[in-house]
Amino acid sequence: MPKLTLAFRSPGDHQEKWRAALATLVPDVTFLPWQEIADPAAVDVALCWLPPTGWLATMPNLKMVHSLGAGVDHILLDTAYPAQVPLVRLVDPYMTRAMTEFVTFQVLRLHLKEPTYRRQQQAALWKPYAPPRASERKVGILGLGELGAASATALAGLGFDVAGWSRTPKALDGVTCFAGDDGLDAFLARTEILVCLLPLTAATEGILGAKNFARLPRGAGIINVGRGRHVVEADLLAALDSGHLSEAVLDVFPKEPLAADHPFWKHERVVVTPHVAALTNPGTASLVVAENLRRLVQGEAWPDRVDIASGY
Ligand code: NDP
Ligand code: OXD
């Protein structure tokens, strides 16, 4: 592979793992932590999470920006993003499996009333509930992309009555598919456990708000593993407190880490996890990045190139 210079920037602590993994896979690529960039014009590729506004625009010869995650909202927040530079996101089969495990686990928790039994244990209350069969439990997945489709298929495999919603029509074995704004009402009306696996875009921000909660059947539970800004927090708290929603599992938040005094922490019907549904794993993700670097050098298209206009 001809020489490329890759600038790395992430507030996380995996820099040395990435350096080591890429040194093995693509030894001709110069790995440059962002603090060590002496000549921004020499940088060909930026591999980043949450780059500060304007940083990418300081590198005039960028040929690709690669996200360190599946989502790219953290990059497109940058109002100075150089629109001509291709943006590629991370699609790693390991992450897809991890997300499927997390979503399946949380759906099973809500299906089997585990949060109820946890509350009952605190009150030494012995009160059994017979769960419906999985085939009688209606699960709905917002977003049928890489992650949503895999979770939907796995849940259908467990026997759940699964539906999914996407922007464009889809056909997925064992999953009832709805699409577009016209399909949303019918999708929500039949959903008892709602999972959000949408990207954060102008069209999806605030989708988990009062209007859509009201369309869910009373007692529905929600699991948000998309982005924090999908949720209108005041609406969620009101829906939980009124009993319209029974439980919320929240993995992502508009501001992370979640503030210590945030009401979600102590709410008895909210489970908070610290953005861990599908963590980027340098060991597996570096294989994906190396392949995308090869495509850059060979002039091949990237299957996971982002459409910047639609934001995902
Ligand atoms: P994809 O781009 O593969 O899929 C996105 C899906 O959302 C597609 O089915 C798309 O529809 C649908 N969609 C987008 N906009 C709309 C809209 N306006 N109306 C209806 N449907 C819409 O993304 P991934 O599955 O790879 O990832 C989804 C998100 O998961 C990421 O963007 C990220 O925010 C989140 N994530 C969270 C993680 C965590 O640890 N919590 C880890 C990784 C990702 P269509 O198919 O028609 O284009
Ligand atoms: C991602 C994430 O987008 O971890 O990959 O949220």
Ligand number nearest CA of 226 is 1
In DSSP terms, which residues pair with 5 in a beta bridge?
30
Residue with tokens 């539906």: 163
230 is catalytic: no
- d(Cα 277, Cα 100) in Å, to the nearest integer? 9
- Say how many Å lie between the CA of residue 92 and the centre of ligand 2: 11
- Say how many Å lie between the CA of residue 78 and the centre of ligand 2: 17
The pLDDT score that the predictor gives to residue 13 is: 82
State which ligand 1 atom lies nearest to the alpha carbon of 169.
47
Q: Is the CB of 69 under 6 A from ligand 2?
A: yes
Nearest CA to ligand 1 atom 16: 167
Whose CA is closest to 1, among 44, 36, 49?
Answer: 44
Q: What is the pLDDT of residues 26-75, one digit of tens each?
A: 999 999 999 999 999 999 999 999 999 999 999 999 999 999 999 999 99
pLDDT in tens, the chain (312 residues): 668 999 999 998 899 999 999 999 999 999 999 999 999 999 999 999 999 999 999 999 999 999 999 999 999 999 999 999 999 999 999 999 999 999 999 999 999 999 999 999 999 999 999 999 999 999 999 999 999 999 999 999 999 999 999 999 999 999 999 999 999 999 999 999 999 999 999 999 999 999 999 999 999 999 999 999 999 999 999 999 999 999 999 999 999 999 999 999 999 999 999 999 999 999 999 999 999 999 999 999 999 999 999 999
267 is catalytic: no
Q: Which of 9, 89, 137, 227 is catalytic?
A: 227
Rg over alpha carbons for the chain, rounded to the nearest Å, is: 21
pTM, rounded to two decimals? 0.98
Whose CA is closest to 250, among 238, 241, 237?
Answer: 237
Are 79 and 97 in contact by the 8 Å Cβ rule? The answer is no
Q: How many CB atoms lie within 10 A of CB 134?
A: 18
